[in-house]
Amino acid sequence: MGGIAIGARIRRWDEAIGAGLDAIFPAGANPWRHLGSLAFLLFVVCAATGAYLFAVFDTSLAGAYDSGRALDSQFLGRLVRGLHRYSADAFAVFTALHLLREAARGHFRAHRAWSWLSGVVLVPLVWVAGITGFWLAWDERALYSASATAEWLAAWPWRLALFARNFATPESMNDRFFSLVVFMHIGVPLFALAATWAHFQRLSHVRAWPPAALGVPLMASLAILALAHPVASLGRADALAAPATLAIDWFYFFPHALAAAFSPAALWVAIGAGFAALCAMPWVGPRKRPVAARMDLANCNGCARCAADCPFGAVIMVPRSDGRNHPREAQVVPDLCASCGICAGACPSATPFRRRTALASGIDLPQHTVSDLRVELDRALAANVGAPIVFACTPAGLAAGAIAVECAAMVPPSFVQYALRGGAAGVILAGCREGDCEHRLGDRWTRERFAGLREPALRAAVPRERVRLVFRGSDAGPLREASLELEELSAEERQ
């Protein structure tokens, strides 16, 4: 019970932060809802600036320091080195925030487990890729970090103390080891790129890039920072000196400070326990899988709209198995299904105007069928004559007094037309905040369907002024306003 209350409180904070940033950033460009894509952009910027640095930087032990100082003295060198470093720092920040936010929203179980685990694997890769980059400058900070990392590794019993000997005297470091560092600084990000590809695998319509309205100003601000506050090498590395104070990059060096404050072994235990806990999260807490959508072959014409709209790639099209004159049929992959109902909202069979036979959709949620939805709509129309009909998604927390649906995009557009013909003053679809759909794409598909840009589209004959899309999460104010507007509009029309 306590855990549930804490979870609810964290989700409220999450929504409050998102709502606060909504007041600053344009619609659809709220950074709080693009943490993953911002991290990806910064990763790519690191790779691009890194390619330039690799071309001009002397990656030998003897030449690295002077090469870094030479970069510091040139405009382009300062800009690219600064962008490389600050993008790496921002990358670490956005990666951490992305992980925390997804954890807070419970996005680590069932159909999300793969994305979660592949994302968790990226975290140590990000750190290794970052910290080895600092070593390449081979200044006091680099030597400190390399030695501190080696001392941290020396806590293990398997002769890892040998690694620390590389940094003990000026003569013990050689070009061969430096080549290994270069290889790690390039190889680990390549491995991270492969892990990122895996991270995207069980999602469809992935938006890897943030909107330009967000990415361009972010990169501009980091470029200005690179010039206004240039990254500079410290003094030349000297194995026989241990500076009392160092200007360290806290985004990557914090494990060194923690190991010194506690002990290398304690840090290993803490990190190991933390990593194991993150990896175990998909299997702790409520174990119940969402009930998967069910395909009804008799009502499926193989149009593939459900497969196109499924946010998690849980619907695939396979060759027809019943001999009917359609080449394909939909097939649900139960392990990937989020039970959001978006597929049901996309199905052309899900029209409430069918009266001769029972309303059965080609694809449907067993626990909340399109037929159930029509029954609820009929009941609401009978109970609230002349009032607006509200469909509200349950994740947004506004279902009280409304027809609750798993996602706004579960409502087929034909239901809007049906409600208006049934005497409703208007129809409101309320859901999660824009760009923040619990099921990833519900707001986007709903908008596109209602704007006639996506099938099944809301018919042109439906008066648009009688339809409101309210994607404001748990903020009930806009929903009330939309409801009042529709009631006033209806009253004016009656007069």
Partner 1 sequence: MNLRSILLQAPAYAAFAAFIGYFSAAPLYHHLAADRAVVKLSFSHAAERREECHTRTAEELAKLAPNMRAPLDCPRARADVHVEVMMDGAVIFSAVEHASGLRHDLPATVYRRLEVPAGHHVFRARLADNASGEFRHDGQIEVDLAPGRVLVIDFVASRGGFRFRS
Six token digits for residue 361: 């959709």
Q: Which of residues 2, 158, 287, 298 is near partner 1 by CB under 8 A?
A: 158
Q: Which of residues 203, 218, 307, 482 is near partner 1 by CB under 8 A?
A: 218
Q: Is 399 in the site for partner 1 (CB under 8 A)?
A: no
Q: Is 250 in the site for partner 1 (CB under 8 A)?
A: yes
Residue closer to partner 1, measured from CB, 25 or 52: 25
- CA nearest 336: which of 314, 310, 318, 315? 314
Q: Which of residues 151, 329, 406, 438 is near partner 1 by CB under 8 A?
A: 151
Sign of the C-alpha dihedral, residues 315, 316, 321, 327? positive
Residue closer to partner 1, measured from CB, 70 or 248: 248
Choices 11-19, 100-108, 143-151, 451-459 (CB under 8 A): range interacting with partner 1: 143-151
Q: Is 60 in the site for partner 1 (CB under 8 A)?
A: no
Q: Which of residues 137, 184, 231, 402 is near partner 1 by CB under 8 A?
A: 231
Sign of the C-alpha dihedral, residues 235, 241, 244, 247? positive
Q: Which of residues 229, 324, 459, 480 is near partner 1 by CB under 8 A?
A: 229
Q: Please, are residues 333 and 399 in contact by the beta-carbon 8 Å criterion?
A: no
Residue closer to partner 1, measured from CB, 60 or 221: 221
Choices 256-264, 341-349, 392-400, 435-443 (CB under 8 A): range interacting with partner 1: 256-264
Q: How far is CA 39 from the centre of its chain?
A: 10
> Distance between CA 215 and CA 139 in Å, rounded?
32
Q: Is 134 in the site for partner 1 (CB under 8 A)?
A: no
Q: Which of residues 4, 6, 76, 168 is near partner 1 by CB under 8 A?
A: 168
Task: Name the 3-class secondary structure at 183.
Answer: helix
Six token digits for residue 54: 């690799």
Q: Is 277 in the site for partner 1 (CB under 8 A)?
A: no
Q: Is 10 in the site for partner 1 (CB under 8 A)?
A: no
Q: Please, are residues 47 and 219 in contact by the beta-carbon 8 Å criterion?
A: no
Instruction: Give min distance, CB of 238 to partner 1, in A.
Output: 9
Q: Is 284 in the site for partner 1 (CB under 8 A)?
A: no
Residue closer to partner 1, measured from CB, 165 or 326: 165
Q: What are phi and psi of 487, to 5 degrees?
A: -65, -40
Tell me which residue has tokens 């404001």: 472
User: At a CB cut-off of 8 Å and minimum separation 6, what does 428 contact?
Assistant: 388, 389, 390, 391, 467, 468, 469, 470, 479, 482, 483, 486
Task: Name the 3-class secondary structure at 460.
Answer: coil
Sign of the C-alpha dihedral, residues 179, 184, 185, 187? positive
Q: Please, are residues 26 and 213 in contact by the beta-carbon 8 Å criterion?
A: yes
Q: Which residues of the shown chain bind partner 1 in the complex (CB under 8 A)? A: 21, 23-26, 85-86, 89-90, 93, 144, 147, 150-151, 154, 158-159, 161-162, 164-165, 168-169, 213, 217-218, 220-222, 224-225, 228-229, 231, 239-251, 253, 256-257, 260
